[in-house]
Amino acid sequence: MKRSIFLIIALSVVLGPMASTPSGAAQEQGKEELKLQLPKPMFIGTPTNIKSPNLEVITGKPRGPFFVPVGTRLLSLNRPVRSSDIQPVIGEFEMVTDGEKEGGDGYFVELGPGKQWVQIDLGASCALHAILAWHYHTQARVYRDVIVQVSDDKDFLTGVTTVFNNDHDNTSGLGIGRDKEYVEVAEGRLFDPKGARGRYVRLYSRGNTANDLNHYVEVEVYGTPAR
Ligand SMILES: [Ca+2]
Ligand SMILES: [Ca+2]
């Protein structure tokens, strides 16, 4: 009798989570895992010395799989890049979309101090399913006021979708952001545009915890190609 009760408990422990979670819950119909090529990490361990009022809880765990509609492609490779800064301090704007994501010197473009943006022209309006940004991953840093927007207007005056905004105190003047600040790591940060359409992707920042400058190693935009 004791043995059978034990078996029932054991079975419910094993089957319980399976019964309550349909198999493949993370993977909806018509979706596939987004495959990414990630650069080598430049530092190991969880930074504990970064203080910021809007910082997310640091788990140190890698990002889980992310699912996108079947047929999603990298749309941003070698696409033209504009910026609020006329001339980079270091590097070239082209480095934002050149496919190189390694850390270290020679792989990032440096923009001037304060609020700056880079903007990628995808060439056509597309439904977007993932945007990834690597600001800088040679050391642990938090970039301020990260705001990611999508629009068909190159000047971002009309039809703007805000995908991400962690400017919790509105210092950049684009509205209060509800997202959290995060530490830059080699896997980059994935922003979910949830199918928002746009030809242009604009990313803002306003300095970082190490200095007042703005950096990009790479930005990747994934979506459904325009027909
Ligand atoms: Ca690059
Ligand atoms: Ca802010």
The residue to which tokens 């090529």 are assigned:
37
- In this prediction, residues 109-134 reach a mean pLDDT of 98
- Going from the Cα of 134 to the center of ligand 1, the distance in angstroms, rounded, reads 9
- Going from the Cα of 219 to the center of ligand 1, the distance in angstroms, rounded, reads 7
pLDDT bin (cut points 50, 70, 90) of residue 47 is: confident
- In this prediction, residues 64-93 reach a mean pLDDT of 97
Instruction: Look up residue 211 and give its two tokens.
Output: 């200095």
Residue range 29-45, pLDDT digits in tens: 899 999 999 999 988 77
How far apart, in whole angstroms, are the C-alpha atoms of residue 203 and residue 145? 10
- What pLDDT does residue 27 have? 66
pLDDT bin (cut points 50, 70, 90) of residue 185 is: very high
Is residue 190 within 8 A of residue 218, CB to CB? The reply is no
Low-confidence winner among 3-12, 54-63, 87-96, 217-226 (lowest mean pLDDT): 3-12
The residue to which tokens 């999508």 are assigned:
150
pTM of the full structure: 0.87
- What pLDDT does residue 155 have? 98
Could you tell me what percent of the chain has a pLDDT over 70? 88
- Going from the Cα of 173 to the center of ligand 2, the distance in angstroms, rounded, reads 9
Is residue 226 within 8 A of residue 125, CB to CB? The reply is yes
- Going from the Cα of 71 to the center of ligand 2, the distance in angstroms, rounded, reads 36
pLDDT bin (cut points 50, 70, 90) of residue 20 is: very low
